[in-house]
Amino acid sequence: MKILMVCLGNICRSPLAQGILESKVHTDRVYVDSAGTSGYHEGNLPDPRSIQTAKKYGIDITSQRSRKFLATDFDMFDVIYAMDESNFEDIIQLSRNKEEAKKVKLILDELSNEDKNVPDPYHGGDQGFENVYKMLEEACELIASKLN
Ligand code: 4NP
């Protein structure tokens, strides 16, 4: 099983989603990666606030580097989780057929709550990162429970 987490910059939300899910699955059976729709931060480490928040919960995301989502990711991954509806639309635009489009899901659709979007914390304070972490922790717990 191969799962890809996608946000805009691949430095704030999706690196956290990758780290959290990796901490909950058997990584020899489940491969998790992340990417950004923009490529603005290609090659960069996750945002220091994401690194710090993950560290607080015992997760190290410092081996991750930002990369751009590519249409060829549809060949590699079974499920592609978008962090928000804007990312979702951008990924769908790159799909080449219905089978590829069907791989794309909103990560919060895993939960039966009202929120559809993991809010972009980039321009906010540390509290935004804590909030994002909690949302992703809950979603990844459910995803992992179905995989393990
Ligand atoms: P992310 O957050 O999509 O969660 O990684 C962002 C990071 C950078 C930018 C926007 C969102 N940016 O505009 O550079």
Give the pair of three-digit tokens for residue 11.
């430095």
> Which of the four pLDDT bands, split at 50, 70 and 90, describes residue 56?
very high
Count of domains for the chain: 1
- Kindly give the distance from the C-alpha atom of residue 148 to the centroid of ligand 1, in angstroms, as a whole number: 31
Ligand 1 atom 9 nearest Cα = 9
- Ligand 1 atom with least separation from CA of 118: 4
Please enumerate in sequence order all residues whose Cβ is within 8 A of that of 107, keeping only pairs 6 or more positions apart, or say none.
5, 17, 81, 82, 83, 118, 136, 139, 143
Report pLDDT for 2.
98
Which residue range forms the structural domain that includes residue 56? 2-147
Tell whether the model's pLDDT for residue 48 goes beyond 80. yes
Tell whether the model's pLDDT for residue 148 goes beyond 80. no
Whether the pTM exceeds 0.85: the reply is yes
Tell me how far apart the alpha carbons of residues 72 and 76 are, in angstroms, rounded to a whole number: 7
pLDDT (tens digit per residue) in 59-94: 999 999 999 999 999 999 999 999 999 999 999 999
pLDDT (tens digit per residue) in 94-147: 999 999 999 999 999 999 878 899 999 999 887 899 999 999 999 999 999 999
Report pLDDT for 4.
99
> Residue 94 belongs to a domain with what CATH number?
3.40.50.2300
Report pLDDT for 63.
98
- Ligand 1 atom with least separation from CA of 9: 5
- Kindly give the distance from the C-alpha atom of residue 111 to the centroid of ligand 1, in angstroms, as a whole number: 23
Task: Find the angle CA(133)-CA(101)-CA(87) to the nearest 5 degrees.
Answer: 35
For the annotated catalytic residues, the residue numbers are 7, 13, 120
Q: Average per-residue pLDDT in the chain?
A: 97
Phi, psi of 6 (to 5 degrees): -130, 130
Average pLDDT in the 14-42 region? 98
- Kindly give the distance from the C-alpha atom of residue 10 to the centroid of ligand 1, in angstroms, as a whole number: 7
Cβ pair 137, 107 in contact under 8 A: no
Does 46 sit in the ligand 1 pocket, CB within 6 Å?
no
